[in-house]
Structures are given as C-alpha cells and as structure tokens.
Structure 1
Amino acid sequence: MARIILKKFDVIPARLNLWVMLFTSCWVAYMLRVNISLNLIAMVPQTSHNSSSTSQCGAKDDVVRNTSLQHVDIADVREVPRQVPGGASFDWTADQQALILGSYFWCYPLTSLAGGMAAERWGPRLVVFVTSLASAVLTALSPVASSWNYLALVVIRFFLGFASGFIYPALHVLVARWAPPAEKGKFVSATMGGTLGTVVTWSLTGPLIEKFGWESAFYVPAALTFVWCFFWWYLVADTPSEHPRISVKEKNYILDALGDKVKKSKGLPPFKSIVKSFPFLAMIVLHYGNLWGLYFIMTVGPKFVASVLGFELSAAGVISALPYLARLVMATIFGFIGDFILARKLMTTTVIRKFFCLFSHILPGLLLLCLIYAGCSTTLSVALITMSMGFNGAATLTNLQNHQDLAPSYAGTLYGIANCIGSTAGFFTPMITAYFTRNGNGFEQWRPVFYIGASVYVVSAVFFIFFGTGNIQDWNFAENTKENKDDKNNDLKEMNGITTRTGDAKDAKDTPLSVIS
C-alpha cells in the first residue's frame, strides 16, 4: 500500500515535491517547538498563588467592574483558580515556566551556526532527516520527563532545540541548490510552513488536551513527525543531479538556470570575508529584528491571550494561531509579488529588499505599538496582532532571502550565522516578559514588553535600509581558480542586475511548480 502511494508522488515533478516537503518540514519543526507554549497553560493549574493566572479582561464572574467607568483596565480582579480540563497539576512558578520555554533556545543558536556547514558538507537531506527523527523521540519523552521534575523537561527542551537548530539552515541549502532564480521567492515562501504548523498546533492542542489529556499534546506531534520522516527520505534529494526520479527536462532546466553560481563545497566557507562584510552585518540585524517579533508572539503570545485578554485554553490556542495564519497567507502573496517584479525588471534586487522592509518590519512594529493601547477590546487586540504578523510575511522578500543574494554557494552558512544570533531572542523574550509581569498581568506590566518588541522591529529595518544590499558578493566565488575569474566577473554582472531567462522558460511552465505560480 505504501509503495502504491509513493509511486503516485513520482508522477509529480521533483520541484513541486520538494516545495511541499520544504513546507511540511517547517510545519513539523514548529509543531514540536511551539506546543509547549500552550501545553504549559494546561500542565500548571492557574491557581491564586500563581501570579500568571489572573486576567485583567476576564469573564464577568471574575471581574467586579467599576460602574462609573466603562474601561476594563481599572477593574478590580479577583484571583480565582482556573482549572483546565485534561490538565496536570505541576506546581511550577512563573520563573520555572519561563526557564522551560527558554531552554529550547539555549543551544539552538549554536547548532543553527553549524547547521548550514553540516548541510553543505554532508547534504541537507540527511541532516534534516536525522535531526527531525531525534526531535520526535525527544518530544515523545517529554511527559515522562515532566513527571520527574521540571528540570528534566528543561533538559528535554534543551536537546530538542539542539537538534532543531540544524533544520532551517539545511533547508536554505536545499533552496539554493534547487530553486531557479525566477522561482526563488516561491521556494523561500515554503519556509513559512512553520506558520501553518503553529496555526494547526495551537488550534488543536486545546481540544486535544481537554479530550485526551495533556500527555496527548506531546505524543500526537511526535507520531506525526515519525510518519513525515519516511516521506522526506523517499522524496527529497540533495541536488537535481542526485534525484533518482526527476525528468531529464526538469533537471536540465534547473541546472541551466542555476549555472555555476551555486557550488557544492567540502571546504570551509570564507569566514574572514564573511565577518568583514558590512552587507552581511546589515542582513543579520534585519534578521534579528524579524526573529524578535516572531519569537515574542510565539513564546508568550498564548500567555497574553489567556492571562490578559481572558480567553479559555481552547479559544486561546485558536486566537493565538490567527496571526500565524495571516503570516502564511501574506508570505505566499509577497513571494509571488517579488517574483513578478523581478521577472518584469520593475525593481532591482536591492530596491526590493529595502522597500519591502516597510511591510516586513516597520508596519508590524507600529501595529505592536497600537496594540498596547487597545485595552480590553479583544476584537481590536486580536486584529492588531494578526495584522502585525500578517505584514511580517513580507520577510520572504527581505531577511529570509537576502543571504541567498549575497552568497548562494554559502546560503546555509550565512543563514546559520544569522539564525545563531537572531535566535537568542527566543530566550530573551520569555525572560523579559517574566521580569515585567512578575507582579501581575495587567496592561501596565505588558506595555514595556510591547515597546521593546516594536523598537527592535523598526530599528533593525532602518539599519538595513541604510547599509543593506541585494548584490552578490565576490567572496561567493572564493574557491574559483584564476581561469574562472572572467566567469566570476560575468556572474557578478548578471546576478547584481535583473536577468530574464528564455529558452527553458517554456519548460518551466510545463512543470507543476507553475501551479504554485
């Protein structure tokens, strides 16, 4: 039966299969990453001695309103125990919960740094398979670890972050080796699959816990990941040349479109040139701003929705997932827009990267500023969070693609370095949130948290607009011999401008990736 199903995939061109597997790999990675944010709400009873339990926008039974004023911000809040059906009874403090949330990111930045180099040396297919399999095993062990001690769960999350750090840099190596220039935006948008993983996980975790218990919120994602690993190993290859079932026409189209701009390297990347590159520094700053906003809503978003806005657990998961669904939809739209602009030479690559920072960073930051003054207008608050994350989908045209511009031969390494630095936001945001909300969960306590997030968004975009570029750097060809210098100069001229491919354009339309376009 499994063989029959797999044979049906063989009739689909390899590029479309790869796009789907890229998308679902990010889905799986985020499913295992974000489930803990909602699980903790169920695992730790929301009792009166837990300062994170009270809601300033709670239900009518929990709030005694001041009848002389209509705004709920000044309501007197009673500390009423809130039990979650199917939940556990772990007596963990707010600081211990923050430790659990942040432990995922302790080693994640370091393995992100190594992930690109590992994929460039041993192949992204193997790297993603091994780390995803290990992540599934660790997730399945989480309930047992939780029953021992919260520190055991911290260790599990630590090693889960260690394994997961390899995945995204490896995926960007695949994009560099498989995506023709005319389809780069659509392939990069596939890395937004984590957004749908967040949406589905947060939407289903609450009902899953209430019906089958909190342990199921770990076992079900682990089981799904095991199944996904089987399909990944069968359908994915490191390069078009190594794919056993790709058509000759499709393989020739991809290889001809990429030319010799992307080379497999067994040696070390030119780190000296990379470190000295100011355009690369600008990309790192932009990437950091993006991840700060992303991780902020991912790690503490459910807590804000449940503890401040007063939604029940099942509703909190759905509401917290809406911004990620908007981000997924907008990322796809922005990916199409970028490919359309490049194909018609409406903007240079550099102008595209800088112009769309307005949507990926500046607008999301301004919307976060508006959010802190929305008060208990839950509809307005949810709309602002959703729009902020939705516009951030334009990151497919800014920080998520800029490393491919600078050095496609070392795209995984560049992304790994940027992710190493940017991912530190993953354990800073829970700590900062815990610090400001230590004595309560009112809007006054949360406002500094949103101020910081908005500032990082906007400042990073302004820095990139002044100092960033979309031009390929000469150190991308660091291993070229003297005989190839003329080719290198030609490549630089071609990639720093906008080129339109002919010849194989018809073949490209004949393959199913055109369904995506």
Structure 2
Amino acid sequence: MAVIFVKFFDVVPVRFNLWVMLFTSCWVVYMLRVNMSLNLIAMVPQTAHNSTSRSQCEKDDAVSNVTLSRVDGVDVHAAHVKQIPGGASFNWSGEQQALILGSYFWCYPLTSLVGGMAAERWGPRYVVLVTSLVSAVLTALSPVAANLDYIALVIIRFCLGCAGGFIYPALHVLVARWAPPAEKGKFVSAMMGGTLGTVLTWSLTGPLMEKFGWASAFYVPAAMTMVWCFFWWYLVADSPAEHPRITDAEKNYILDALGDKVKKSKGLPPFKSIVTSLPFLAMTILHYGNLWGLYFIMTVGPKFVSSVLGFELSAAGVISALPYLARLFFATIFGVIGDFILGRKLLSTTAIRKFFCVFSHVLPGILLVLLVYAGCSTALSVALITMSMGFNGAATLTNLQNHQDLAPNYAGTLYGIANCIGSTAGFFTPMITAYFTSTGNNFENWRPVFFLGASVYIVSALFFIFFGTGNIQPWNFAADSKDTKEDKTNGDLKEMNGSSIKIGDSKEVKETPLNVAK
C-alpha cells in the first residue's frame, strides 16, 4: 500500500510535487518552532495570586463572549487535568519563560547565515533532510528536558534553532533552481506553508494537551516530521537535471526558462559587493520589518489572546491561529496577482515590489495601532489582528521574493544574510514584551509593544520604497564573468543540458534579469 501511495506522486508533474514539499517543509519547521508558545501556557500554572495572569477583559462584566468562554489563570491550569506520565507543571517565572521562547533564536540567525551557502555548495535536498530529522529528535526529547530543568529545555530550544536556521535559505536555493520566472510567485507563496503549520499547531495543540497532557504536543509533531522526511527524500532533487523521474519535456521547459542565470556555486559569494549594495540593504531592512511583526504575533500572540482578551486555553490556540490562516489565504492570492501582472507586463518588477509594500507592511502596521484601542471588544480585536497578518501575505511579492530578483545565483546566501539579521527579532520580541508587561497584562502595558511593532513595519517599508529595486545586480555573475567574456571572444556555443544557447557579451547578460518585465 505504501509503495502504491508513493508511486502516485510520479504521475503528476515534478514541479507540483516540489511545490507541495516546499509548502509542507515550511509547515513542519514552523510546527516545531511555534508549539512552545502555547505549550508554556499549559506547562506553567497560572495562580489566582498572580495578578499578571488574569485577563483585564475578564473584569469587565459588561463585555461578554458568548461564543468562546473566557476563564482566568486558575481555570486554564485546571483545564489540562489529564496528563501523560511525566507531564508535571512547572513554577517558571515570566523571565524564565521568555528565555525558553527566545533561546530558539540565539543560534538561528547564525545558521541561517551559512544555510544558503551550504545549500548552494552541497545541495538543498540533504541540508533540509538532515536538519529536519535532527529537529524531530530534539522535539521528542523536549518533555524529558523540561522535567530535568528549564535550562535543559533552553538548550533543546537552542539546538532546535541551530537546525531550523538552515532550512529556509536552503529552500530558497531550491526555488532559484526549479522555478521558471513565470511561476516564481507561486513557488515563493509555498513559503507560506509555515502559516499552515502555525494554524494547525495552535488549533490542535490546545485540545491535544487538555486530553493527553502537554507532553503529547511535543511527541505528535516530532512523529509527523519523521514521516514527512521520507517523502522529502523520495520526491525532491537538487535540480531538474538531477531528478531521476522527471520527464524530458518538463526538464527542458525549466532549464530553457532559467537560462544561464542560475548555476551551482563553485566558490564563495561576492560578499564585498553584497554588503555594499544599497538594494540589498533595502531588502534586508524590509525583511527585518516583516519578521518583527511575524515573530511578535507568533511568540507572544497566544499570551495576549489568553491573558488580555481572556480566552481559555483551547480557544487561545484557535484564535491565535486565525491571523496565520488569513496570511496563507492572502499570500496565495497575492502570488497569483503578482505573476499575472508580471506576465502581462503591466508593471515592472521594481514597481511590483514597492507597490505591494503598502499591503505587506504599511497596512499591517496601521492595524496593529488600531488593535490596542479596540479594548475588550474581542470580535474587533480578533478581526484587526487577523487582517494585519492577512495583508502581510503580500510579503510573497516583496521581501520574500526580492533576493531572487537581485541575484538568483546567490538567492540562498542573500536570504540567509537577511534572515540572520531579521531573525534577531525573534529574540528581542519576547524580552521586550516581558519588560513592558512585567507589572500586569492590560492594554496600557501592551500598547507600547504594539506601537513598536507598527513602527518597525512602516519605517522598513518606507526605506525600501525609496532605495529598493527589482533589477538583477551585476555581481550575480561575478563568479563566471571571465568565462562569459571568453565565450564572446571565441564565438562558441555553450552546451547547457542538451540544448545550445548563444551567450552574448557580459553587458547583454547583465541587462536580462531573471524576473524583470521588459
């Protein structure tokens, strides 16, 4: 039965299989990343004597939620009475909990920095496979670590971040090698698979913990990841030329569409040109603003929904997941719109990147500001935070694709550098939130946190609008400029994957971007 099920994937186009695996790989890595945010609510009991654990909205009798009941911290603690062996609760302080949440990102930026280069040199297939398997094992060990000491759990989360940092840059290398320019938006939208991972994790973790104990919220994702790794190993290859089951027609279509813009790296990327590039700096700042808002809602969203708006544990997971579901939905729509506009040559790539910053960054920032003035109107608060993250789905047309425009040959490296810098937001947001909410969980304490997030969103977008571009950069060809000149002098035909492609002078090649509408 298993063989028949696997063989089914061989009858569909390889690009579709790859899109599915890209989508689910992001799903898996986020599932292992975000489960701790909700798990901590069950692992650490909230006592009636701790005034910071009580909901401000809970005290307002005039405001009631008839669809989802609100309970205080004592009820949340009592909700998970059925625990598997070893499912004890812990008396960890707010600072210790913030340390556990933030430890994932201590090493994540560094491994993200080298992840793209590792995938460009050794291939993204095995980089993703190995790091995913390691992440699954570490997640399964988390309950044991928690029962030893919170420091042991911090170490586990630290190692998880080390492994997880490799995955996204490696996936962008895979996109650069497989996605034809006309389908780039759809492939990049697959990176929103992490959104589904967040949605399902937060939607299912609450009921799972309440029935089987919080440890099950670690074991189930770990087991699912191990099963996924088998499909990744079978279905994915580093490039079309290396896939054992791809048809000649599909392989030639992809290779002809990509031309000679992307090839396996033989040396180090041109770091000097990269770090001194103003367009790359603008893209990095835009990416940082995006990750600040994303990590803010991902790491402290469940706490805001549970402690301030006052939803019970299982409801907190569902409500906290809604923004990510909206982000997934909008990302798919924006990806299709972007490919349509680019295919019809209605706007240049640069114009597309800058225009959609209004949706990916500016509107989410404005909605975050409005959120803190919604008060205890739970329906309005949930709607605002959901739309804020939903509009951020337009990031598939801005920061999540711009590095592919600038240098497709080094897409993994560029994303790795930007993600290294941007991922520090995941370390700072829990700390900043803990600082402002140390005296209580009310709207006055949370207001500066939301203001800061909105400011980062909007300022980063403005910087990119002024200094960003969607044009390919000359240093994309730095490693092979000598070979290109020799091809022009000798008038040779370059044989590439069985098809003869005429190589013009280096100036002509530089002016033919991979993803720029003429």
- TM-score tier, shorter chain, comes to over 0.9
Corresponding residue for residue 99 of structure 1? 99
The amino acid of 1:405's aligned partner reads D
Local SS of the residue matching 1:495:
coil
* 8 A Cα contact 2:326 2:386, kept in partner: yes
User: CA, structure 1 residues 117+497, in 2 after alignment: closer, same or farther (shift >3 Å)?
Assistant: closer
Local SS of the residue matching 1:490:
helix
* Higher deviation after alignment, 43-52 or 208-217: 43-52
Corresponding residue for residue 283 of structure 2? 283
User: CA, structure 1 residues 487+20, in 2 after alignment: closer, same or farther (shift >3 Å)?
Assistant: farther
* Higher deviation after alignment, 236-245 or 44-53: 44-53
Per the TM alignment, residue 105 of structure 1 is displaced from its structure 2 partner at its CA by 0.3
User: CA, structure 1 residues 138+300, in 2 after alignment: closer, same or farther (shift >3 Å)?
Assistant: same
Per the TM alignment, residue 4 of structure 1 is displaced from its structure 2 partner at its CA by 1.6
Corresponding residue for residue 199 of structure 1? 199
CA distance in 1, matches of 2:241, 2:73: 63
Corresponding residue for residue 511 of structure 1? none
User: CA, structure 1 residues 79+136, in 2 after alignment: closer, same or farther (shift >3 Å)?
Assistant: closer
Q: Is 2:349 the counterpart of 1:349?
A: yes
Q: After superposition, what is the alpha-carbon deviation per residue over 1:35-69, rounded to whole angstroms, capped at 9, x for unaligned?
A: 000000000011134454111112xxxx365x8xx
Corresponding residue for residue 491 of structure 1? 509
Q: After superposition, what is the alpha-carbon deviation per residue over 1:449-499, rounded to whole angstroms, capped at 9, x for unaligned?
A: 000000000000000000000000000000124451444322332217845
* 8 A Cα contact 2:112 2:168, kept in partner: yes
* 8 A Cα contact 2:365 2:455, kept in partner: yes
Local SS of the residue matching 2:53:
coil
Per the TM alignment, residue 266 of structure 1 is displaced from its structure 2 partner at its CA by 2.5
Corresponding residue for residue 224 of structure 1? 224
CA distance in 2, matches of 1:431, 1:418: 22
Per the TM alignment, residue 71 of structure 1 is displaced from its structure 2 partner at its CA by 11
CA distance in 2, matches of 1:491, 1:51: 65
Corresponding residue for residue 164 of structure 2? 164
The amino acid of 1:433's aligned partner reads T
The amino acid of 1:234's aligned partner reads Y
Corresponding residue for residue 4 of structure 2? 4
Per the TM alignment, residue 160 of structure 1 is displaced from its structure 2 partner at its CA by 0.2
User: CA, structure 1 residues 479+314, in 2 after alignment: closer, same or farther (shift >3 Å)?
Assistant: same
CA distance in 2, matches of 1:498, 1:110: 31
CA distance in 2, matches of 1:39, 1:248: 48
Corresponding residue for residue 145 of structure 2? 145
User: CA, structure 1 residues 13+309, in 2 after alignment: closer, same or farther (shift >3 Å)?
Assistant: same
Q: Is 2:237 the counterpart of 1:237?
A: yes
Per the TM alignment, residue 89 of structure 1 is displaced from its structure 2 partner at its CA by 1.7
Q: Aligned ranges for residues 453-468 of structure 1 at < 5 Å?
A: 453-468=453-468
User: CA, structure 1 residues 387+432, in 2 after alignment: closer, same or farther (shift >3 Å)?
Assistant: same
Corresponding residue for residue 38 of structure 1? 38
CA distance in 2, matches of 1:492, 1:326: 38
* 8 A Cα contact 1:48 1:81, kept in partner: no
TM-score of the aligned structures, taking structure 1 as reference length: 0.92
CA distance in 2, matches of 1:139, 1:2: 26
Per the TM alignment, residue 185 of structure 1 is displaced from its structure 2 partner at its CA by 0.2
Per the TM alignment, residue 357 of structure 1 is displaced from its structure 2 partner at its CA by 0.2
TM-score of the aligned structures, taking structure 2 as reference length: 0.92
Q: Aligned ranges for residues 290-301 of structure 1 at < 5 Å?
A: 290-301=290-301
Corresponding residue for residue 335 of structure 1? 335
User: CA, structure 1 residues 253+95, in 2 after alignment: closer, same or farther (shift >3 Å)?
Assistant: same
Per the TM alignment, residue 170 of structure 1 is displaced from its structure 2 partner at its CA by 0.1
Q: Is 2:393 the counterpart of 1:375?
A: no
* 8 A Cα contact 1:52 1:94, kept in partner: no
Corresponding residue for residue 214 of structure 1? 214
Local SS of the residue matching 2:340:
helix
Q: Is 2:280 the counterpart of 1:262?
A: no
CA distance in 2, matches of 1:401, 1:265: 20
User: CA, structure 1 residues 51+278, in 2 after alignment: closer, same or farther (shift >3 Å)?
Assistant: farther
Unaligned segments of structure 1, at least 5 residues: 501-517
CA distance in 2, matches of 1:410, 1:288: 19
Corresponding residue for residue 510 of structure 1? none
Local SS of the residue matching 1:46:
coil
Percent identical among aligned pairs is 79
The amino acid of 2:358's aligned partner reads L
User: CA, structure 1 residues 497+385, in 2 after alignment: closer, same or farther (shift >3 Å)?
Assistant: closer
Corresponding residue for residue 57 of structure 1? 57
* 8 A Cα contact 1:53 1:82, kept in partner: no
* 8 A Cα contact 2:44 2:89, kept in partner: yes
CA distance in 2, matches of 1:161, 1:457: 24
Local SS of the residue matching 2:269:
coil
CA distance in 2, matches of 1:64, 1:207: 27
CA distance in 2, matches of 1:64, 1:275: 53
* 8 A Cα contact 2:470 2:516, kept in partner: no
Per the TM alignment, residue 3 of structure 1 is displaced from its structure 2 partner at its CA by 1.7
* Higher deviation after alignment, 266-275 or 161-170: 266-275
User: CA, structure 1 residues 170+380, in 2 after alignment: closer, same or farther (shift >3 Å)?
Assistant: same
Per the TM alignment, residue 32 of structure 1 is displaced from its structure 2 partner at its CA by 0.2
CA distance in 2, matches of 1:364, 1:251: 40
CA distance in 2, matches of 1:137, 1:496: 39
Unaligned segments of structure 2, at least 5 residues: 66-70, 486-503
The amino acid of 1:200's aligned partner reads L
* 8 A Cα contact 2:26 2:193, kept in partner: yes
User: CA, structure 1 residues 240+141, in 2 after alignment: closer, same or farther (shift >3 Å)?
Assistant: same
Q: Aligned ranges for residues 302-321 of structure 1 at < 5 Å?
A: 302-321=302-321
CA distance in 2, matches of 1:489, 1:496: 15
* Higher deviation after alignment, 488-497 or 385-394: 488-497
Q: After superposition, what is the alpha-carbon deviation per residue over 1:245-300, rounded to whole angstroms, capped at 9, x for unaligned?
A: 00000000000000000011131000010011010000000000000000000000
Q: After superposition, what is the alpha-carbon deviation per residue over 1:367-420, rounded to whole angstroms, capped at 9, x for unaligned?
A: 000001000000000000000000000000000000000000000000000000
The amino acid of 1:186's aligned partner reads K
* 8 A Cα contact 1:345 1:498, kept in partner: no
* 8 A Cα contact 1:37 1:101, kept in partner: yes
User: CA, structure 1 residues 52+148, in 2 after alignment: closer, same or farther (shift >3 Å)?
Assistant: farther
CA distance in 1, matches of 2:423, 2:482: 39
CA distance in 2, matches of 1:394, 1:498: 18
CA distance in 1, matches of 2:430, 2:246: 45
The amino acid of 1:307's aligned partner reads S
